[in-house]
Structure 1
Amino acid sequence: MSEYTIKRAPWCEHEYKHCPSGCLIETAENRLREAHRRWHDCADSYHSPEDFRDGLNSAIQALRNVTFALQSAKSKIEGFDLWYTEEQKLMRADPVLRWIVDSRNTIVKQDDLKTLSQLKVTVVPSYDVEADSVASEQMTWAELPNAKPSAVVHTTLDAPVDLTIEEVLAELSHVDLPMSVRQQATALFEHRWVDEKMSSYELLALLAHVYGHLNSLLTRCHELLNMRRVRIQLSALDEEYPTPVEVLEELPLNGRLPCMASTRQYRITRIRLSDGSEVKEFRNWQVKYDSGAAKETAESGIYGVQPKFDHDAVGEMQTATQLSALVAHYAEIARGILLSGQDHGWFSYFYREGSMADALLHATVDRQGKHAIASEISRKALELGADTVVTIGEAWTSTLQQTPDGSYVSPSLHPEKCEVLMVDAVSKSGATAGGILSFRTVQGEPPHREVEIGEYTAQSGTTGILLPTRAAWGVSVLTGEAFWRAQTTD
């Protein structure tokens, strides 16, 4: 069986040309690519009802045309009829795929779909509530094949869709919250378009589910034509370590593209509960690995002698022992950066099966921005199919101090705060690890800061920033026997 390389399209970083030149099902793939473009039209116009409706109609028709185009090539593909008969049984058993067929017939022959708009408002004072919001959406993907919503208690408020943000905030002002909590809390305004015939599920999610099934269908048809997809694992750790080529037995995300891993970023508006301003002051930049620059930096000695990455110790990073070795490695690198006088920065590193998949640099100005970044980290983990995430950055720590209204003073405002470098790691297995490297600024400011480095302390758990990532994976906090099993070595 031959293998074919996935080529990236110029109009979307997650869209690839799968078919080689002259492929028998190239027309079907073109219809699927068209459906992907129309999906983005829907996402980009989510808050414009008329434009959203136009994009929805086009997306539904493009998705339905995929199977029409595929069947038109059946006479040229040996064994197609027997293979497709079994595929049709699977499609007929999926209520969402039946919905797309009925919807296309309605649009073409009768009228627009009867769409409804919904609004949910969630107050997010902490990372665990942000995680609850992430988990709620991710449950959708498991439910869709049977279209049976789970009975889940949500910490949300169903609000009339025509309420303004100002009116909602006015209602929330009557909620009894400690002042320090209110100053750091975010109000998530989550908009949802639904079809009245499938009102439990948001429409972008329904379209993405159908896309995923059809993408998987075309992948299986390519296998019928003796072609298979591969994925290259990218590693930025060192040039000597091999980067494996992985044959994809099953497509990630059940065939959905990485941009379809979550729809929250298109539907959610983040508002500060304290003053009603929109939370926009946060950024995530992709870190591009440059082997030449890395070699030049190492030879310069600006960060001291860099530790060698111990691949045997970290393995596939799925036990606490392996994660502890990974955390200690990053802490040792951080020690050199701090001693150089420079600011360390806030980074996230994403791994898949022991190899680095990507890295991000983060920046924000307040707690609300940190909540947004925590959500973005979880989405990135899903997009990449990552099974391990590490975050590292400077922070403040302090003893707990309560205010008169019962809340706690933020470490950054505590009169006896201490500077630390914090490393946190979580894996999809449920294992966690962390580490704290204490330091003290003697004088100066980055990049000419002089610091004294204290002790490195290993931690068994992590801070809240990675709770949304655990929620996105469907990993709950481990207790009892499960916790101790995750702490064991290989």
Structure 2
Amino acid sequence: MAGQKNEQQGDHDSTCPLVAVDRRLDDVHRHWHSAERAYFEPEGFRVAIQTAIQTLRTVTFILQSNKAQIPDFDAWYASWQEKLKAIPLMRWMVDARNKIEKQGDLEMYSHVRAELVASYLNDGPVIQVPANLFEGPDVLLRNLPKSDLGDHFWKHGTLRVQRRWVENSLPDHELLDAAATAYGAIAEIVADAHVKIGRAPPTTTNIETGEEYGSGRAGRLPCMVGHGEARTLNISLSDGQAFDLSHEEVTVDFEKGKEAATRYGVNPDDVFGRGEDQESILRSLFDTARRMTETDGHHVTMLVLLRGTTVVRLAQVEFPDHGSKYIVMRDIAHEVVRKGVDGVILVGESWMAVADPTKPYMRAVDALDRKEMLAATLVRITGDPIQLSAMFDRQGDSVKLGETVEARDGEHFIFAPVYEVWGRPIPDRWQG
């Protein structure tokens, strides 16, 4: 898999009693990526995805052949079998493997899934049509209501067109995602088997960044989460133009960092705080953002992803228009799962206005009484969100910021996609 961006490869200890199991699981991972690369090549996809399904089944066969290595194997494995039997997708995987080996190919077909997105929540209208009947999205657009909601769609909505492979007996699952989910379930068994024999579970390394991954993400590897974006076309309804998602990575240049420290009067070591907790990181980032804003007169939107107090990603986020925010935040939610993130911070300029109940879809930027502010918001997998903000006072080309205001448990429904992937209930007040 060398050279495949964002893919991972397994690190296998040849002295491990379960090394044969580890290698076979890694084979599944490789076949899965072969299917991903062949997604728009029907024959190549058919061969690769079926090979992945077949190989996945052999992982447990090899595990059973090594039962002598695992204490109290029969009782331990029986408990895992009961868990897997309770998962419909895993039962389907067993049937699919038997069909491939004894009857022939799975009955796969390609769909185009058209979806209108004009919310941070996954409750918009959706239509699915066979790939050779592409008129479906046009029908969807013609049926938009003539109302405030319809106007909101036309101004800020995005038409997402996504190719999907599905199988006749598993119509509600995209095949590549189904295989990734099944891989995750088996990977959890393999990890637990290593714990049973007193060894650390196998790790996986990102061949591009060198970062190591263990368990988490329900056993799935980061490269197997959120892959749908690579096969999706996003079209803005306001101008009919296609757009791509943009998160420009911020790399650390120490020389430029020294220059910036002098320019903004900050200590580089203090930008992310002293690592006590995520709140201290938020406060340190906001202090730095204040200095940068008052010096430059503006501040770009920055995304910080945290795993504990470790910064696992720092990126500048581009929002071409308001509608793109709905899509970008969904993409960020995928990244949260891929990297096992438990804290997200967004720092940037924002607008604030009093909500008008007679105009439920009006944004703050369109309100006559709008106010400009700098804000930094932290949401966490546990605990209330925290926002630090300061109002703008523009004086010609210069900017002065007001006092820092702290708000807890505020309404930040831009983070609804992140809450969903964390499995946290979305507060009712975020629906507005």
TM-score exceeds 0.5: yes
Q: Secondary structure at the match of 1:437?
A: strand
Determine the structure 2 residue equivalent to 1:455.
Answer: 403
Over 3 Å counting, the alpha-carbon distance change for 1:458 and 1:181 in structure 2 is farther
Are 2:330 and 2:418, in contact at CA under 8 Å, matched by a contact in 1?
yes
Determine the structure 2 residue equivalent to 1:196.
Answer: 168
Determine the structure 2 residue equivalent to 1:220.
Answer: 192
Over 3 Å counting, the alpha-carbon distance change for 1:118 and 1:309 in structure 2 is closer
Quote the Cα distance in structure 2 between the aligned partners of 1:91 and 1:160. Answer: 32
- Over residues 204-235 of structure 1, what are the superposed CA-to-partner deviations in whole Å (9 max), with x where a residue is unaligned? 23211221122122222333443214989xxx
Establish whether residue 351 from structure 1 lines up as the match of residue 278 from structure 2. Answer: no
Residue identity in the other structure for 2:328: I
Over 3 Å counting, the alpha-carbon distance change for 1:196 and 1:203 in structure 2 is same
Determine the structure 2 residue equivalent to 1:146.
Answer: none
Taking structure 1 as the reference length, the TM-score comes to 0.72
Residue identity in the other structure for 1:265: E
Quote the Cα distance in structure 1 between the aligned partners of 2:33 and 2:421. Answer: 22
Are 2:153 and 2:237, in contact at CA under 8 Å, matched by a contact in 1?
no
Are 2:373 and 2:390, in contact at CA under 8 Å, matched by a contact in 1?
yes
Quote the Cα distance in structure 2 between the aligned partners of 1:247 and 1:365. Answer: 33
Determine the structure 1 residue equivalent to 2:377.
Answer: 424
Are 2:108 and 2:166, in contact at CA under 8 Å, matched by a contact in 1?
yes
Over 3 Å counting, the alpha-carbon distance change for 1:408 and 1:93 in structure 2 is closer
- Over residues 368-402 of structure 1, what are the superposed CA-to-partner deviations in whole Å (9 max), with x where a residue is unaligned? 32222111211111112222211011234456689
Over 3 Å counting, the alpha-carbon distance change for 1:420 and 1:45 in structure 2 is farther
Are 1:43 and 1:266, in contact at CA under 8 Å, matched by a contact in 2?
no
Quote the Cα distance in structure 2 between the aligned partners of 1:414 and 1:165. Answer: 39
Are 2:118 and 2:124, in contact at CA under 8 Å, matched by a contact in 1?
no
Alignment of 1:32-111 (within 5 A): 32-74=25-67, 77=69, 79=71, 81-82=73-74, 83-84=76-77, 87-111=80-104
Quote the Cα distance in structure 2 between the aligned partners of 1:13 and 1:415. Answer: 45
Establish whether residue 125 from structure 1 lines up as the match of residue 74 from structure 2. Answer: no
Residue identity in the other structure for 1:408: M
Establish whether residue 277 from structure 1 lines up as the match of residue 277 from structure 2. Answer: no
Determine the structure 2 residue equivalent to 1:368.
Answer: 323
The count of corresponding residues between Structure 1 and Structure 2 is 415
Q: Secondary structure at the match of 1:364?
A: coil
Residue identity in the other structure for 1:58: T
Establish whether residue 296 from structure 1 lines up as the match of residue 245 from structure 2. Answer: no
Over 3 Å counting, the alpha-carbon distance change for 1:86 and 1:401 in structure 2 is closer
Are 1:279 and 1:368, in contact at CA under 8 Å, matched by a contact in 2?
no
Are 2:272 and 2:285, in contact at CA under 8 Å, matched by a contact in 1?
no
Shift of 1:283: 0.8
Shift of 1:418: 4.4
Aligned residue among 11, 26, 31 for 2:19: 26
Quote the Cα distance in structure 1 between the aligned partners of 2:213 and 2:97. Answer: 35
Are 2:349 and 2:375, in contact at CA under 8 Å, matched by a contact in 1?
yes
Establish whether residue 436 from structure 1 lines up as the match of residue 389 from structure 2. Answer: yes
Quote the Cα distance in structure 1 between the aligned partners of 2:264 and 2:355. Answer: 34
Aligned residue among 307, 310, 332 for 1:377: 332
Over 3 Å counting, the alpha-carbon distance change for 1:42 and 1:343 in structure 2 is farther
Q: Secondary structure at the match of 1:194?
A: strand
Over 3 Å counting, the alpha-carbon distance change for 1:164 and 1:479 in structure 2 is closer
Over 3 Å counting, the alpha-carbon distance change for 1:9 and 1:216 in structure 2 is farther
Aligned residue among 152, 155, 179 for 1:183: 155
Are 2:21 and 2:62, in contact at CA under 8 Å, matched by a contact in 1?
yes
- Over residues 185-210 of structure 1, what are the superposed CA-to-partner deviations in whole Å (9 max), with x where a residue is unaligned? 11233544332323333322321122
Are 1:389 and 1:425, in contact at CA under 8 Å, matched by a contact in 2?
yes
Are 1:401 and 1:409, in contact at CA under 8 Å, matched by a contact in 2?
no
Quote the Cα distance in structure 2 between the aligned partners of 1:89 and 1:370. Answer: 42
Establish whether residue 408 from structure 1 lines up as the match of residue 380 from structure 2. Answer: no
Over 3 Å counting, the alpha-carbon distance change for 1:296 and 1:171 in structure 2 is closer
- Over residues 29-71 of structure 1, what are the superposed CA-to-partner deviations in whole Å (9 max), with x where a residue is unaligned? 2222221122223334444443332221121122123233434
- Over residues 442-469 of structure 1, what are the superposed CA-to-partner deviations in whole Å (9 max), with x where a residue is unaligned? 455xxxxx32223333233143331211
Alignment of 1:235-274 (within 5 A): 251-266=215-230, 268-274=232-238
Are 1:351 and 1:389, in contact at CA under 8 Å, matched by a contact in 2?
yes
Quote the Cα distance in structure 2 between the aligned partners of 1:94 and 1:408. Answer: 43
Query: Which protein, 1 or 2, shows the higher relative CO under an 8 Å CA cutoff with sep ≥ 6?
Result: 1
Quote the Cα distance in structure 2 between the aligned partners of 1:231 and 1:196. Answer: 35
Determine the structure 1 residue equivalent to 2:207.
Answer: none
Q: After alignment, is 103-112 or 164-173 more displaced?
A: 164-173
Q: After alignment, is 453-462 or 360-369 more displaced?
A: 453-462
Aligned residue among 162, 166, 172 for 2:141: 172
Quote the Cα distance in structure 1 between the aligned partners of 2:33 and 2:367. Answer: 45
Quote the Cα distance in structure 2 between the aligned partners of 1:126 and 1:10. Answer: 36
Shift of 1:9: 7.2
Q: Secondary structure at the match of 2:362?
A: coil
Are 1:229 and 1:247, in contact at CA under 8 Å, matched by a contact in 2?
no
Taking structure 2 as the reference length, the TM-score comes to 0.81
Over 3 Å counting, the alpha-carbon distance change for 1:441 and 1:195 in structure 2 is same
Quote the Cα distance in structure 1 between the aligned partners of 2:72 and 2:360. Answer: 68
Q: Which runs of 5+ in 1 are unaligned?
A: 1-7, 133-153, 233-245, 318-322, 445-449, 481-490
Shift of 1:157: 3.2
